[in-house]
A = this chain, B = another copy of it.
């Protein structure tokens, strides 16, 4: 019971039991160099006496901490939360502790975090790199012998493997779906073009249009939006443009929700009045009305994969920098039907 005293250390146990600290250390870690009987004796006493292992001391000696640093853009984004979930499960199972940071696409913040992690001697870093991250920043870490795994956003020349979905393909598919529904004027909203996901999803959209004989340059392309609020803003812009689109392909589900709610406020019924698609298939978007047509990109799977890749690197096994992309799957639901009789207003309430 909470004796106000100093914490117990190996030496204390050793003295009490009449053995050396070396023996105690070895025993606690199940080294075969110590006899079964002694091991039991040590463990039992340590347990009873409430011994608490000091990882700082161990880290100092061994130069490794059993900690993994995770930096993502924003854990509040349900999509990242899901990725994180996959990550965490796999890592805690292996006894790793997670240090976390939301860098919010702020380079300085990200750098500060990385520095701190290095000071803590983390065993590895899992990063969704902030937009504008220089490949060299990552490369430097890797060349110090600290494994880095990127998630969601790739960074050419960083020397680190990246686990992510096939953004190009996903957006190509869903745009193609819109085209097949009969849409001819299809906007794209959102996505930071400075990130690989923003870039790739935009390319998919362009290519799908081109392949269908539609000219992407005549379509509407509104970059940057990432959140629900920004999606709303974009929707206003779209509706008031000279030639409003009949469909809008959004960078992610959040933006799509924003677009739909703005449309509603403008008297346009999302779905019949304006086809809207999302990306990510966040939890719950299939249950709304209209149920969101979107792309499931296997967030949990991406998290798990990244964790596995990290663990493999920690074991010293070399990993290929060329990780196969996780394949997305289309979720056709209700929010993107064929074009209606043009933008038909309906009275709310």
Contact = CB atoms under 8 A, between A and B. Distances in A.
B81 A119 contact: no
Nearest to A264: B289
Contact of A81 (B1, B76, B145, B257): B76
A289 B265 CA distance: 10
Nearest to A65: B56
Contact of A101 (B92, B283, B284): B92
Contact of A120 (B60, B97, B116, B257): B97
Contact of A98 (B78, B84, B100, B261): B100
B232 A287 contact: yes
Contacts of A78: 76, 78
Interface in A31-57: 52-57
Given A78-B78, A101-B92, A102-B85, A55 B287 contact: no
Interface string A269-299: 0000000000000011001110000000000
Nearest to A121: B56
A74 B86 CA distance: 13
A327 interface: no
A228 interface: yes
A54 B121 contact: yes
A165 interface: no
A88 interface: yes
Contacts of A145: 4
B54 A57 contact: no
Contacts of A101: 88, 92, 98
A56 B59 contact: yes
30 contacts: A1-B140, A2-B143, A4-B145, A52-B115, A52-B118, A52-B119, A53-B119, A54-B60, A55-B119, A56-B57, A56-B60, A56-B65, A56-B120, A60-B60, A75-B75, A75-B81, A75-B85, A76-B82, A76-B85, A92-B101, A92-B109, A97-B99, A98-B100, A99-B100, A100-B100, A232-B287, A254-B284, A261-B284, A261-B287, A288-B288
Which 8 A/B pairs are nearest by Cβ-Cβ distance? A2-B143, A56-B59, A261-B287, A76-B81, A56-B60, A55-B119, A53-B119, A100-B100
